[in-house]
Amino acid sequence: MPAIQENYDVCVVGAGHAGCEAALACARLGLETIIFTVSVDSIALMPCNPNIGGSSKGHLVREIDALGGEMGKNIDKTFIQSKMLNKSKGPAVHSLRAQADKAEYSKQMRKTMQNTDHLTIRQAEVSEIITNDKNEITGVKTVSGGTYFCKAAILCTGTYLRARCLTGEMITHTGPNGLQAANHLTDSLIAHGIEMYRFKTGTPARVDKRSLDFSKMQEQVGDERVVPFSFTTNPDDVQIDQVSCWLTYTNPKTHEIIRNNLDRSPIYAGIIEGTGPRYCPSIEDKVVKFAEKDRHQIFIEPEGLDTNEMYVGGMSSSLPEDVQHAMYRTLPGLENVKIVRNAYAIEYDCINPNQLYASLEFKNVPGLFSGGQFNGSSGYEEAACQGLIAGINAAMKIQGKEPLILDRSEAYIGVLIDDLVTKETHEPYRMMTSRAEYRLLLRQDNADLRLSKKGYEVGLISEERYNWVCEKEQLIEEEIKRCHEVRIGASKEVQEFLEEHDSIPLNTGTTLAELIRRPELEYDMLAPIDLERPELSYEVTEQVNILIKYDGYIKRQIKQVEQFKRLEKKKLPQNFDYNEVASLRIEAVQKLNQLQPLSIGQASRISGVSPADISVLLVYLEQLKYLNPDLFSKLNVGKEED
Amino acid sequence: MKTDTIAAIATAMSPSGIGIIRLSGEEAFSIVDKIYRSKSGNKKLSECESHTIHYGYIYDGDTLIDEVMVLLMKAPRSYTTEDTVEIDCHGGVFVMKRILETVIKYGARPAEPGEFTKRAFLNGRIDLTQAESVIDVINSKNDFALRSSTQQLRGTLKQDVKEVRDKIIHEIAFIESALDDPEHISLEGYPESLSSIVMEQIAHVDKLLANSDNGRMLKEGIMTVIVGKPNAGKSSLLNQMMGEERAIVTDIAGTTRDVLEEQIQLGGITLNIVDTAGIRDTEDIVEKIGVDKAKDYLSKADLIIYVVDSSVALEENDYEIMELLQDRQAIVLLNKTDLESVVTEEEVRNHLDKKMIAFSAKDSTGMEELEETIKDMFFKGEVSFNDEVIITNIRQKNSLQEAKNSLNLVLRSIEDAMPEDFYSIDLMNAYESLGNIIGESVEDDLVNEIFSKFCMGK
């Protein structure tokens, strides 16, 4: 029987949050792209929590949007509740989180994909990657025998590789929601020299809304004024009727049931071999690890408008069905609960992401890229941003351009990818705001200012949109300048205004900027005493307020970034044998050989590479200038800005 | 390339006539402007010609420190090719230290091990063929810094620093978990409790600054190690030098289980005396640790005093010790001359040709000669001590000071009602500064602390 053979520029394997961004990016950049999924009905599926964003994840979505990705736009179309988290805290940790209508989210993404030029959707399980004698990617093969030749392939297999779901003693060899697992690809990857890991994660039960008593729970409503995720969404378009979430608690009775049945948990019984995430513990983990706590918060969240299913946030578990029934029923409001889908743990194959460059290309398989949970991360947003970067860089490679690599001072995405490819991973990686050293600069409110230029250069942001960002930048600058120049005298009106706002009256005149710095005052509030204020959009005045208010801290971080950049700019050779550098310690040689860092800066973050090793590397680079001028000039070392 | 300004003592730490403190970097001139006064009082060094020398005084505020000559070298005509200032002062250890501390107070940073050489090299100043030796300098100095930070810290200092660090990381982890999971963890009322915790930690750091000899974590002085096989009389010698009973002295071989360290003044010279457990092959585990440590100390010693029991014939252990001492600055004491001698000077000299002194701990014979010999060796420059100790001390004091400053900034942020996420910025800086003292970096400490101490959502 003759098998199918087709030619594409890019093959994307998997149509989850990473795969969708990767495929859209490639297709939008004009490359013929095909995306494979085991089920077209499960494109952009949200198999776990029904929300997008959250602390630091909201930042990722904003950054994806500023680079020309889809996630922000898609959630703006399909959210049913939205909240800005941490609003009482500093602007750096404000973070958007929206409840999604899951089915609608998936449907809208599918619609976008289906209407994108150059993009072909194919329901098939990819079983092999094909390479030439240099181990460069040349195509992929499906289980049915079809061959799809390509210039680059992007693996976004999520949790599907050799997936196995566990609920107590019951084990099924499927992906999430009973979807077909992909059981063949792992062998092909191993045969190509790729090192695999096995991770696990889990999800709680979904329950029937009609069986719940909401009068025993606390209502959690959305924000009065909703802020959209995408910089392109008109804020007026997202002021919709929102749906509530509900809060209840576990209690000693719940914990007792769990403790009594621990021996039936596949984790505690040793059946699960994969490594689970510490930040997303199952309820049995919480009860064991934090034994002193007699209650844990549980959020009951709607899964959509057209379904009665509710997500029981905080109670993921791999305990058997009967135990799940018993323990869920101890919760106030869930006394008569009917479970629609059981909680389960899922195990899957993923890779050691240290095998990737920061471009998300495999070091040992040129042309092969990867993103998402396959890279050892967890979370929809983490997946989407990697998919976007992998897609962009596959396109850049085919177009013969430089890869897009964001560093730790430019974006949370940069932090995430640098952590993945540089540090040792022992559990699914989740973004956290504490991982970003320069978070005062990497705010969700300024993602467009930080990244639009890059998105424009890559080709995913239109000229019109980019021009608007440039204009905005200029307006901000001018208004900050004005605030530093405008004198506010100690007039009667001013003193009265200050007293009204619990602010100390002035002794002498001051500048508008000085008043903005007062904790109790803000730029917007000061309009009555700032008579010549130009009319500016909130987007602009928000930046003006933040940049003036936190000026001291921001300046300090900018200084730290300058230091950081100095080492990032010192490039290291690739595919290099560090045994050639005399005086490096053995451990450092091993780590450097394995990781092949792109810069001295990245090298300094590898555990096992000491400051002395870094000094040795710096001296070596200097030698290289004379010993191997060709190689040296390729590295752009020493090309530093003042 | 912009560079911060580094400073170090450029001359050896021996009582020579002059000492030189060197500064290199963009702010070298502006720093020296702040502390230098000419005789007339109105000369500004930053406005003077390159490669000129200026007579004057160094002041810390209104306090006169020393009369000096200052040599100016503007970039790129200097060793490092950066703006460089050399302050020639009187050669006393105390004065040099005081001047170095002053330039650091006014904005310089203590140089990292081998940093001047490294900068010179990276700025193209040193011949390429010297690259290997540059690396050697960096490595050996780093080795010292590493050793000192892990092993040579005074007493409980390491433990004290660790405790403060643990407290700090716990608070950061709490703030961060609340930021990451605001719906599970609340910061309601937290600033008040943090305020008192931070104040406590500042008090601890203050105590460390004050208690550890004005911030000095390492003992400065000539590291003098006393060796000899068990029961040769090492501890008695130490007691003689100290003038009091410190080490446990018995007639049973092997009673000094650990090493004892003491600091004594000998005619203006500071000696750090280390009494080691006797070197011999031993199966006793506790003692074995002492013996290993002794060998380790030997390798680091500036001066070694080898005590030979002249009443007992030389044997395997003596030969082993003498082998270790071949190329070292050492003095041999023939002890127990009050007893009947079995070992003669000639016999020892056949194996080890060093200054030899007949000694008896019982009646103080030879004590004076020992003191004279040490002084002689020092003034002839045969022994000096590792100047890295001083720069390391200043670096560490600087780190403590930085930690304190960061903690004070936290208090200020709390007073100014800044949002909680700002606290963790300065807390983290304090954590890092303290880590420098004990040679620990940040790595994944925070994430680990968050997950182990706080129950996160979902």
What Cα–Cα distance (Å) separates residue B420 from each residue in A130, A418, B408, B411?
52, 27, 15, 11
For residues B367 and B244, membership in a common domain is answered with yes
Chain A residues within 8 A of B81 when measuring between CB atoms: none
Q: What is the mean pLDDT of residues A362-384?
A: 97
Is residue B384 a part of any domain in this protein?
no
For residues B287 and B144, membership in a common domain is answered with no
Mutate one of A223, A430, A432, A581 to test the B interface: name it (highest B CB count within 10 A).
A432
For residues B162 and B282, membership in a common domain is answered with no
Instruction: Specify the higher pLDDT residue, A612 or A174.
Output: A174
**Could you give the CA distance from residue A239 to residue A123 in angstroms, rounded to a whole number?**
37
Class of the domain covering A5-199+348-458 = alpha beta
pLDDT in tens, A109-129: 999 999 999 999 999 999 999
**Whether CATH 2.40.30.260 fits A206-346:** yes
For residues B60 and B152, membership in a common domain is answered with no
Question: Comparing C-alpha atoms, which of B340, B343, B345, B336 is closest to residue B363?
Answer: B336
Number of residues that this document lists for chain A: 642
pLDDT in tens, B58-96: 999 988 988 999 999 998 899 889 999 999 988 777 788
DSSP letter string, B11-43: S-BS--SEEEEEEESTTHHHHHHHHEE-SSS--
For residues B247 and B358, membership in a common domain is answered with yes
Residue intervals in chain A for CATH 2.40.30.260: 206-346
Q: For residue B335, report the phi and psi dihedrals to the nearest 5 degrees.
A: -90, 165
Residue intervals in chain A for CATH 3.50.50.60: 5-199+348-458
Q: Minimum mean pLDDT among A305-314, B193-202, B333-342: which range?
A: B333-342
Where does A570-635 sit in CATH, by number? 1.10.150.570
Which of B379, B407, B441 is the C-terminal boundary of a domain? B379
Q: What is the pLDDT of residue B387?
A: 62
How close does chain B come to A388, measured CA to CA in Å? 24
For residues B168 and B244, membership in a common domain is answered with no
Query: Could A89 and B142 be called an inter-chain contact, meaning their C-beta atoms sit closer than 8 Å?
Result: no
The whole-chain average pLDDT of chain B stands at 79
What Cα–Cα distance (Å) separates residue A181 from each residue in A110, A524, A559, B105?
21, 54, 49, 64
Instruction: Specify the higher pLDDT residue, B18 or A534.
Output: A534
How close does chain B come to A176, measured CA to CA in Å? 17
Chain B residues within 8 A of A518 when measuring between CB atoms: none
Q: Which chain B residue has its CA at the smallest distance from A296's CA?
A: B184
Chain B residues within 8 A of A55 when measuring between CB atoms: 179-182
How close does chain A come to B301, measured CA to CA in Å? 23
For residues B259 and B375, membership in a common domain is answered with yes
For residues B238 and B310, membership in a common domain is answered with yes
Structure tokens belonging to residue A82 = 């939205």
Q: What is the mean pLDDT of residues A32-43?
A: 97
**pLDDT bucket at B234, cuts 50 / 70 / 90:** confident
pLDDT in tens, A306-355: 999 999 999 999 999 999 999 999 999 999 999 999 999 999 999 999 99
Q: What is the mean pLDDT of residues B110-115?
A: 80
Query: Could B420 and A640 be called an inter-chain contact, meaning their C-beta atoms sit closer than 8 Å?
Result: no
Which of B321, B349, B379 is the C-terminal boundary of a domain? B379
Query: Could B421 and A619 be called an inter-chain contact, meaning their C-beta atoms sit closer than 8 Å?
Result: no
Q: What is the pLDDT of residue A306?
A: 96
**Could you give the CA distance from residue A404 to residue A303 in angstroms, rounded to a whole number?**
36
Q: Which chain B residue has its CA at the smallest distance from A611's CA?
A: B142
Is residue B116 a part of any domain in this protein?
no
Chain B residues within 8 A of A432 when measuring between CB atoms: 176, 180, 447, 450
Q: What is the mean pLDDT of residues A461-476?
A: 97
CATH of residue B57's domain is 3.30.1360.120
Where does A466-552 sit in CATH, by number? 1.10.10.1800
Query: Could B176 and A434 be called an inter-chain contact, meaning their C-beta atoms sit closer than 8 Å?
Result: yes
Counts of helices then strands in chain A (DSSP H, E): 20, 24
pLDDT in tens, A239-258: 999 999 999 999 999 999 99
Residue intervals in chain A for CATH 1.10.10.1800: 466-552
Instruction: Specify the higher pLDDT residue, A273 or A382.
Output: A382
For residues B292 and B429, membership in a common domain is answered with no
Q: What is the pLDDT of residue B458?
A: 52
**Which amino acid appears at position A468 of this protein?**
W
Query: Could B122 and A618 be called an inter-chain contact, meaning their C-beta atoms sit closer than 8 Å?
Result: yes
Q: What is the pLDDT of residue B312?
A: 84
**Which amino acid appears at position A200 of this protein?**
K
Chain B residues within 8 A of A642 when measuring between CB atoms: 1-2
**Could you give the CA distance from residue A448 to residue A454 in angstroms, rounded to a whole number?**
10
Is residue B48 a part of any domain in this protein?
yes
Count contacts between A and B (CB, < 8 Å).
Answer: 127
DSSP letter string, A202-259: EE--EEEGGG--GGGSEEE---SSPPPSSTTS-GGGG------EEEEE--HHHHHHHH
Report the complex ipTM: 0.87
**Could you give the CA distance from residue A453 to residue B97 in angstroms, rounded to a whole number?**
51
Structure tokens belonging to residue A403 = 């890869």
Q: Cα torsion for B133, B136, B142, B147, to the nearest 10°?
A: -140
Mutate one of A95, A434, A516, A591 to test the B interface: name it (highest B CB count within 10 A).
A434
Task: State the pTM of this model.
Answer: 0.82
Q: What is the pLDDT of residue B386?
A: 62
For residues B251 and B202, membership in a common domain is answered with no
Q: What is the pLDDT of residue B215?
A: 45
Instruction: Specify the higher pLDDT residue, A509 or A455.
Output: A455
CATH of residue B329's domain is 3.40.50.300
Residue intervals in chain A for CATH 1.10.150.570: 570-635
| Number of domains chain B is built from | 3
Instruction: Specify the higher pLDDT residue, B92 or A519.
Output: A519
Query: Could B135 and A616 be called an inter-chain contact, meaning their C-beta atoms sit closer than 8 Å?
Result: yes
Mutate one of A88, A503, A615, A632 to test the B interface: name it (highest B CB count within 10 A).
A615
pLDDT in tens, A223-244: 999 999 999 999 999 999 999 9
Query: Could A623 and B128 be called an inter-chain contact, meaning their C-beta atoms sit closer than 8 Å?
Result: yes
Q: Which chain B residue has its CA at the smallest distance from A642's CA?
A: B1
Residue B249 is part of which domain span?
226-379
For residues B306 and B234, membership in a common domain is answered with yes
Chain B residues within 8 A of A85 when measuring between CB atoms: 182-183
Mean pLDDT comparison of A215-219, A557-561, B285-289, highest-scoring range = A215-219
For residues B150 and B193, membership in a common domain is answered with yes
Q: Which residues of B201-235 are buried (b: 16+ CB within 10 A; e: fewer)?
A: bbebbeebeeebeebbbbbbbbbbbbbbbbbbbbb
pLDDT in tens, B149-182: 444 555 567 788 889 999 999 999 999 999 998 8
Is residue B175 a part of any domain in this protein?
yes
Number of residues that this document lists for chain B: 458
